[in-house]
Structure 1
Amino acid sequence: MSNGARHALGVVAGLLLPPLAAAGLWYGVGQLTLQAQQAFQISWIAVGVLAATGVVLAFLAASRLSPIASLVGGLAFLSVGVLPFVEMYTRIRLLPVDLLPGELRNGFTTLTYTGLQVMIGLMLLVASFFPSRWRGSAREPAEPVEYESTWGTASPQSPYLPPRSGSEDATRPMYRE
């Protein structure tokens, strides 16, 4: 895969996967909290959604697809996660809490006000900073290089090397069968 195609797929993954991961986190945390508070039970659907969201976040952070995916996702999570701190500083309501339904609203406020979205955003940003993720895979040489054998021919002595002592075969490895 060429680097251009890899980065284009990274942009697409960076635009599609972080909102899905955020919705999964918000739903999973909200449903798990709601079931624990109301019935003192574990919602296994919420645990499954959180596990699937963890897989999506791990794919964003560690895939060889492109670091643009984790960069875009990290910026999205970080920008949403910083909003409560900006609210506290400016005393202006910025969070869109009223637009979300019940479980999503509960999970959103839990994750945002505890700072976990900032941590997820920073994790994704740091994962995109490694230079090895920006490089493409190593290409194979176009054609193999063949070297001419000098076996048995006398090569002239280099003026930069010390003079030879002993027989010429002293440094050749001995192959045994």
Structure 2
Amino acid sequence: MVAGLLLPPLVAAGLWYGVGDLTLQAQQSFRISWVAVGVLAATAIVLAFLAGSRLSPVASLLGGLAFTAVGVMPFVELFTRVRLLPVDLLPGVFRNGFTTSAYSGMLVVVGVTLLVASLFPSRWRGSARDLAEPVEYESTWGSASPQSPYLPPHHNPEDATRPMYRE
């Protein structure tokens, strides 16, 4: 839950700074800002951790809702012709990155990605596992053998939608 409150603003700040500094340096001096590239790489790592980890799905849900809401605002501005985005509140590099990522639709892409990542049923399951009795197989020799550790357990409804067996 705390990650859902802390990581999305860090992703937004990294995205806005990285995009803003990269475009500003490219437009002014025709060079690549390696600091901005590093910030964007770190932001991508944090975004991947937020979307694909076993954190609470509320973390990616909250971030996805926020990014999608802010990302849809430029399209609403086009139809209503009313200024909704607070672009004057941000300092120079952040303002440039915010407007570039908002008006290009990048914030909608990040928001929908986080929303879809939070919808998988396996992320909403608890970590408690049912302690089912191990299944015993009859061997060709006539004696019962315990279940193989390499095969998925049978009769476990928690693993019904997972693509592979996990311990």
Question: Could you say which TM-score interval applies, normalised by the shorter chain?
Answer: 0.7 to 0.9
Q: Work out which of the residue numbers 88, 92, 109 in structure 1 matches 2:78.
A: 88
Unaligned runs of 5+ in 1: 1-10, 146-170
Letter in 2 for 1:57: L
Q: How does 1:13-32 map to 2 (within 5 A)?
A: 13-32=3-22
2:44 counterpart of 1:77: no
2:108 counterpart of 1:118: yes
Offset at residue 91 of structure 1 (A): 1.1
- 1:11-62 Cα deviation digits (max 9, x unpaired): 2111111011001000000000011111111111000100010011001100
Offset at residue 139 of structure 1 (A): 2.4
After TM superposition, the score normalised by the length of structure 1 is 0.74
2:49 counterpart of 1:59: yes
Q: What residue is the counterpart of 1:136 in the other structure? A: 126
Percentage of pairs with the same residue: 73
Q: Work out which of the residue numbers 40, 49, 73 in structure 1 matches 2:39.
A: 49
SS at 1:22's partner residue?
helix
Offset at residue 172 of structure 1 (A): 6.7
SS at 1:92's partner residue?
coil
Q: 1:173 to 1:34 in 2, by over 3 A?
A: same
Q: Distance in 1 between matches of 2:128 and 2:102?
A: 41
Letter in 2 for 1:65: L
Q: Distance in 1 between matches of 2:46 and 2:3?
A: 10
Unaligned runs of 5+ in 2: 143-167
Q: 1:174 to 1:29 in 2, by over 3 A?
A: same
Q: Distance in 2 between matches of 1:16 and 1:137?
A: 23
Q: What residue is the counterpart of 1:12 in the other structure? A: 2
Cα RMSD for the two superposed structures = 2.0
Q: What residue is the counterpart of 1:174 in the other structure? A: 141
If you compute each CA radius of gyration, which structure gives the higher value, 1 or 2?
1
Count of aligned residue pairs for this structure pair:
140
Offset at residue 107 of structure 1 (A): 0.4
Letter in 2 for 1:56: V
Q: What residue is the counterpart of 1:159 in the other structure? A: none
After TM superposition, the score normalised by the length of structure 2 is 0.78
Q: Distance in 1 between matches of 2:108 and 2:66?
A: 10
Q: Distance in 2 between matches of 1:24 and 1:95?
A: 19
Q: What residue is the counterpart of 1:104 in the other structure? A: 94
Q: Distance in 2 between matches of 1:65 and 1:172?
A: 41
Offset at residue 141 of structure 1 (A): 2.8
